[in-house]
Structure 1
């Protein structure tokens, strides 16, 4: 029910353009790909449901988050929630594409929202570079986590459920 309300809120806010969008128009995220990861870096002016004051993450901040993902994801994923019939996320991290969104929380900490989804080798669409990927269900093929840049820690791991 909560997810349905979230989707409806997105539709309503998109329709009525209620966000304080910056003067520049968002067209496409910065595609940053290495041998270890494939990410989209969304700018501060991206039109989406990201809390707090927005900022555009730098490649150095993405590198910092990626190192922490590689080293700490297994620790916060120890309960393996929703990973019985879908991939175990920390064992398959390279197979996920990631979208990065930056914001400042109510305490003034800089947070990266990392939105992850299973990458299909034959998936030639570039829609993931223009829109935040939001999927209901799908198990661990779709998950997100937050990274506090100021405290250098991962938190709020959220793995999709099943239909």
Structure 2
């Protein structure tokens, strides 16, 4: 009986570790900072975020997404929802730090999930390089959007509400 339990336990551990989850090796995102933006690029082995197949975005893909944000965010933000007394995100884009996560959607498209938060927030000093920043409320100090690399389009803009 002990032998069966031991074998089952080992099989469970092997199955758990064989799905590509190598989160134990994740220490810190790639910090990519330019004069125009400050971002954290999370590797595909960052386990806490997406259940779909993941990939590590390249700096060239980040550059492409950043151009799209600068050129097209105003169009996606035409409703200016949740921004009455907080920053208008497309006007203050340079004031936000961003976290990039890559995944492949059900159509096989490579998607970047871009998580954005106000850079003046002292609570997120180095934590933003090691874990996804998630905040309830906060208005437009916290928002996210997706970017389809093949279609070169941003979509699913989500701006936090205010309590």
TM-score by length of 1: 0.85
1:1-163 alignment to 2 at 5 Å?
21-22=21-22, 25-120=25-120, 125-163=125-163
Q: How many residues are paired up?
A: 147
- 4+ long deviations beyond 3 Å: 17-20, 121-124
Tell me how far apart the structure 1 counterparts of residues 51 and 155 of structure 2 sit (CA, whole Å).
16
Tell me how far apart the structure 1 counterparts of residues 23 and 130 of structure 2 sit (CA, whole Å).
18
Tell me how far apart the structure 2 counterparts of residues 144 and 121 of structure 1 sit (CA, whole Å).
16
Tell me how far apart the structure 1 counterparts of residues 26 and 83 of structure 2 sit (CA, whole Å).
35
Give the drift of 1:21: 1.1
Give the drift of 1:52: 1.1
Tell me how far apart the structure 1 counterparts of residues 100 and 110 of structure 2 sit (CA, whole Å).
13
Give the drift of 1:49: 2.3
Give the drift of 1:123: 6.1
The answer on whether the counterparts of 1:113 and 1:147 sit within 8 Å (CA) in structure 2 is yes
The answer on whether the counterparts of 1:39 and 1:97 sit within 8 Å (CA) in structure 2 is yes
Tell me how far apart the structure 1 counterparts of residues 113 and 45 of structure 2 sit (CA, whole Å).
15
The answer on whether the counterparts of 1:51 and 1:105 sit within 8 Å (CA) in structure 2 is no
**Structure 1 portions without partners, runs of 5+:** 1-16
Tell me how far apart the structure 1 counterparts of residues 23 and 159 of structure 2 sit (CA, whole Å).
34
CA offsets per residue over residues 30-88 of structure 1, 9 Å max, x none? 00000000000000000212141000000000000000000000000000000001100
Tell me how far apart the structure 2 counterparts of residues 122 and 138 of structure 1 sit (CA, whole Å).
14
Give the SS at the match of 1:61: helix
Query: Could you say which structure has the larger radius of gyration?
Result: 2
The answer on whether the counterparts of 2:23 and 2:46 sit within 8 Å (CA) in structure 1 is no
CA offsets per residue over residues 98-143 of structure 1, 9 Å max, x none? 0000000000000000000000176672100000000000000000
Tell me how far apart the structure 1 counterparts of residues 79 and 162 of structure 2 sit (CA, whole Å).
16
Give the SS at the match of 1:90: coil
